[in-house]
Structure 1
């Protein structure tokens, strides 16, 4: 086993050890909450769905890549490549879009009564199932070319024009135009939700800042508690948006490079870096959710959550 394979295996092992248990804990916490309370708030349902697709990103791609890198097991034949790449691309895209939906829902939730968004806040939860279905259909459709063009690395690499080398697999396109068109669609699919998510997060931060200025002169214990909740929510929003812009920004820069290089096949090193950065959010995000979400903490620490009127902490801490 060469040093490059060892480094690749260690990187994927790290992502697996972080992402698989972390996302499983978040999923278990919200499933337990749903069983005990017999319902989930819309924001909680979004986070549960987000943790599920993040689990798929890490468990399907990183775990199997780690096994192949250490020569423990290799499922990357033609069928394995088609399945793994399709599931990975679909779940990765859903992770971006669900975080965008979560940011948008939080943005609508804190809208003041009487605003133009108050009606949206009332009707949004009933459309959540339809939104999930639409996102699944959209992203599985965009990822479907991977089923057609993916193949195992046992094929003759000398005849792989217009291909992308992903170490254990090849994604072979029939022409350079198809390759660039497919890449452009994926870039747009990623950039649009990131842009919307940044706008929603900026709105939340502006709202929190204005609200903190309004209650700045009030020093009661209740207001101090609300102030800390606002600060915690703002930090969570900034952290998640920064992670998305950083990780997926690097991922898309590498993807654009892959599409524009003059070589007929891109290097597997570039592909490894893309997979690492695009999977890094799926591995790190459950840590942020566990650290900032009181509902998850209460389930993991076996502490019964306090019942009381819903505050801004309840609305925003699910981020």
Structure 2
């Protein structure tokens, strides 16, 4: 086994294990919040879908890539390759949709009550869950197209119309079909990224205006120390990290798509870059989010309410 294969395998293994543990612990944290009776914010509901999408992206790509990098025998077959590749693409797409919805929701939430978005503040929370589930269904249907072209690992090196992904292979579609599929996948992604830029710019502008207003009237309290401000700054950090890794991933994925027979370094680099945000995002959230304090407060509140309930009960 070459040293380069070992190095790539270690990177895949570390990224997958660390990312899976981070996302699993964050998902467990949200489950504990739910079962302890904490009031879950709408942003938390969106982040739960992001965690699930991250786990799909990491496990469906990281595990087989790790096995392939270490040159271990793996036989997924046609069905296994189709399923893993489809779920990976769905998870990646849902990460984009989730980040878009998260940034747009927060931008509308922190807008002043006298703004033109005031009416949406009441309406948008009702459609958060519906939008997320509709996005899952839509991307599952879109990525069924991948099932036609993914196959099991092909050992015949003379086959030039196959792309080798290390653990699976893909048949080259014809130019017209491939162009239509790329456009079908690119349009919603580009729309989501555009909305993210708009929402992020709006949030930065709102925070800047509020900071200037607070400095002008010489108040000690500011939006910066409020829960809304902390949540907005966390989302801005998350969005900027996502856009950075997403841009790099698009560059590498475009190279893999355009080149007929991409070498192993390009394929592995594209896979590593695509897994960076799912692996890093839960730790960004855990370092910035204050849900742990909410959990502690809810536990104390529930504990203090139990004696009162017993005291009010009739003899």
TM > 0.5 fold call: yes
State the alpha-carbon separation in 1 of the partners of residues 4 and 231 from structure 2.
Answer: 41
> Residues 252, 188 of structure 1: CA spacing in aligned structure 2 closer, same or farther, 3 A cutoff?
farther
In the comparison of the two structures, how many residue pairs are matched? Answer: 300
Q: Tell me what 2:205 maps to.
A: 206
Checking the alignment, whether the CA contact within 8 Å between 2:13 and 2:66 is kept in structure 1 is yes
Residue ranges of structure 1 left out of the alignment (5+ in a row): 309-319
Tell me the C-alpha RMSD between the 2 structures.
2.5
Q: Tell me what 1:278 maps to.
A: 274
> Residues 87, 202 of structure 1: CA spacing in aligned structure 2 closer, same or farther, 3 A cutoff?
same
Q: Tell me what 1:22 maps to.
A: 22
Q: How far is the alpha carbon of 1:305 from its aligned partner?
A: 5.8
Checking the alignment, whether the CA contact within 8 Å between 2:246 and 2:274 is kept in structure 1 is yes
Checking the alignment, whether the CA contact within 8 Å between 2:97 and 2:192 is kept in structure 1 is yes
| From 226, 231, 242, the counterpart of 1:244 | 242
Checking the alignment, whether the CA contact within 8 Å between 1:9 and 1:66 is kept in structure 2 is yes
Checking the alignment, whether the CA contact within 8 Å between 1:96 and 1:193 is kept in structure 2 is yes
State the alpha-carbon separation in 2 of the partners of residues 167 and 297 from structure 1.
Answer: 44
State the alpha-carbon separation in 2 of the partners of residues 167 and 11 from structure 1.
Answer: 15
Q: Would you say 1:290 and 2:290 are equivalent positions?
A: no
- Equivalent residue runs for 1:1-319 within 5 Å: 1-37=1-37, 39-71=39-71, 74-161=74-161, 163-217=162-216, 223=221, 226-229=223-226, 232-233=230-231, 235-261=233-259, 264-296=260-292, 299=295, 303-304=296-297
Checking the alignment, whether the CA contact within 8 Å between 2:16 and 2:279 is kept in structure 1 is yes
> Residues 8, 75 of structure 1: CA spacing in aligned structure 2 closer, same or farther, 3 A cutoff?
farther
Q: How far is the alpha carbon of 1:192 from its aligned partner?
A: 2.0
State the alpha-carbon separation in 2 of the partners of residues 45 and 164 from structure 1.
Answer: 38
> Residues 152, 296 of structure 1: CA spacing in aligned structure 2 closer, same or farther, 3 A cutoff?
farther
> Residues 269, 177 of structure 1: CA spacing in aligned structure 2 closer, same or farther, 3 A cutoff?
farther
State the alpha-carbon separation in 1 of the partners of residues 216 and 101 from structure 2.
Answer: 34
Q: How far is the alpha carbon of 1:82 from its aligned partner?
A: 0.8
Q: Name the larger-Rg structure.
A: 2
CA deviation digits over 1:99-147, x for unaligned, max 9?
Answer: 1100011011112113221221101111122201221122112211211
Q: How far is the alpha carbon of 1:27 from its aligned partner?
A: 0.7
Q: How far is the alpha carbon of 1:38 from its aligned partner?
A: 6.1
Structure 1 runs (4+) greater than 3 angstroms displaced: 217-221, 228-235, 296-299, 303-308
> Residues 43, 232 of structure 1: CA spacing in aligned structure 2 closer, same or farther, 3 A cutoff?
closer
Q: How far is the alpha carbon of 1:77 from its aligned partner?
A: 2.4
State the alpha-carbon separation in 1 of the partners of residues 135 and 300 from structure 2.
Answer: 34
> Residues 106, 26 of structure 1: CA spacing in aligned structure 2 closer, same or farther, 3 A cutoff?
same
Checking the alignment, whether the CA contact within 8 Å between 1:194 and 1:244 is kept in structure 2 is no
Checking the alignment, whether the CA contact within 8 Å between 1:26 and 1:51 is kept in structure 2 is yes
Checking the alignment, whether the CA contact within 8 Å between 2:6 and 2:69 is kept in structure 1 is yes
Checking the alignment, whether the CA contact within 8 Å between 2:38 and 2:298 is kept in structure 1 is no
Residue ranges of structure 2 left out of the alignment (5+ in a row): 302-315
Checking the alignment, whether the CA contact within 8 Å between 1:183 and 1:259 is kept in structure 2 is no
TM-score (norm 2): 0.86
TM-score (norm 1): 0.85
Q: How far is the alpha carbon of 1:211 from its aligned partner?
A: 0.7
Checking the alignment, whether the CA contact within 8 Å between 1:183 and 1:255 is kept in structure 2 is no
Q: Tell me what 1:314 maps to.
A: none
